Amino acid sequence: MSTLIIFIIVALLFAITLAVFILLPWLQTQDHHAIANRADNQLLTLNIEVFKQRLEELDADFAEGQIDEVTYQTQKLALERQLLDISDNQDTRHFTPNWKSRLIVIIWIPLLSVMAYVMIGDRTPVYQLWDAQNRLGQVADDLLTAKIDTPPEWATKDSVGLISAMQTNVHHHATDPLRWFRLSEVFLALQAPEQAIEALARAYRLNPDDEKIAITYAQTRFFTQGGVMDDKTRQVVEHILAKSPKHQGAQMLMAMGEMRAGNYAQSRKWVELLRSEIQARPGDHTQALNSLSELEQTINQREAQGKQAITVNVKVTPEILGRVKKGQNLFVNVRKMAGGPPVAAKKLSADSLTINGMAINISDNDSIMPTMTLSSAISANEPLVITARVSASGDAMPQSGDLTSNPVPLEKTADSTTVLIDKIVP
């Protein structure tokens, strides 16, 4: 049975139940007091008819001359007073519904409910999701449970519907880490790293001891952030190494992360540990050893370039520091005073930013373009400025609400400079 039919049946049952509850007072047996009131009303109605007949007879007697005018007016006034008393005592508050009024309410409540659901908003996306679940739900489940590795050709023609069906399936089985992991692979194939990281984070929280999930999560975070190992990534990698000290994927991440952080001695230790473990294994590992040699050369090169770094002391006012939240990012950019893209940029976690500020080294290792390094721009006497910005979104472009500094000119001979974050981007 399709989801649409199930929804309609459930909605109708709910609406009919609501109508019955509204009609319940009408359907219940009336109490003795209400029955007595209705009986009294019937007697009073009969008495009113009798009084009306007596008035007609009195009018006829007067017209025939059987009674004089004084007697006529006296008796008429007495009858009218009695008639008014009867009318005041009649209970007109009670309404006795019939089967027609009950049927109208039972029909109109479900009908109005359906009209409200359809007319209040556009339900097309909901109908499309239901249709995708009906057509592709089983394929999505087979993909997420690793029963099949690739979807059938007919299913790939509706990639949006297939992804919607997979996301719905995952949320229906929210405690299954395998489904979250498989969903992250789909997002990575679609070049949607943020969604992939979110899915991997759910999978890791559900099963942090699964090394495949953990290393994939750490690698995706590391490379998505441009090779920066943040606190969360480091925590995941260290958890892997605590359980499996010889896990080469985790060791390689530590080597690259320490290199990007400027901890070159630690990075070399990880490289040497990897090399010794690879050499201890039987077989030909020439390619892996060559890769380690290239990484070691990169470490040496970055260390040499880092010695020519400029120290940027990032300060922040107390008022602005109170707006910095955990998990936000700190961007330090060096760009030409005339404008254009940054010559060098560094992205760090803003969690370490305190009232005393923090010192950041920026060098050719942080250059955006290999053809225009920081040192070459300084040597060419290009007027440069340095800015610092705390971003909640993590976007390289300034957004409204970001915390930023004024541009500070970079002196050619200076080996350090200070920037102050003291305003909010409007």
Tens of pLDDT, residue by residue over 210-257, are 999 999 999 999 998 878 888 899 999 999 999 999 999 999 999 999
Query: Which residue in the block uniquely carries the two structure tokens 């107390």?
Result: 318
Asked whether the beta carbons of 155 and 177 are under 8 A apart, the reply is no
In the chain, where are the structural domains located? 3-27+34-88+101-120, 177-305, 309-425
pLDDT for residue 215 = 96
Model pTM score: 0.64
pLDDT for residue 2 = 61
pLDDT for residue 276 = 93
- The per-residue pLDDT for range 46-76, each reduced to its tens digit, is 566 777 787 788 788 788 878 888 887 887 7
By CB neighbour count within 10 A (0-12 exposed, 13-18 middle, 19+ buried), where does 403 fall?
buried
pLDDT for residue 76 = 78
User: Which helix (H) or strand (E) segment is 13 a member of?
Assistant: helix 3-27
Phi, psi angle pair for 202, to nearest 5°: -65, -45
**Composition of the chain by helix, strand, coil, percent to 5:** 60, 15, 25
Spatial separation of the C-alpha atoms in residues 220 and 233, rounded to whole Å: 9
Q: Which residues of the chain have pLDDT under 50?
A: 29, 31-37, 39
pLDDT for residue 13 = 81
Q: Which two tokens stand for residue 133?
A: 């679940």
From the candidate CATH numbers 3.40.50.1820, 1.10.10.10, 1.20.120.140, 1.25.40.10, the one assigned to the domain spanning 177-305: 1.25.40.10
Spatial separation of the C-alpha atoms in residues 363 and 349, rounded to whole Å: 18
How far apart, in Å, are the Cα atoms of 9 and each of 87, 90, 310?
A: 51, 47, 69
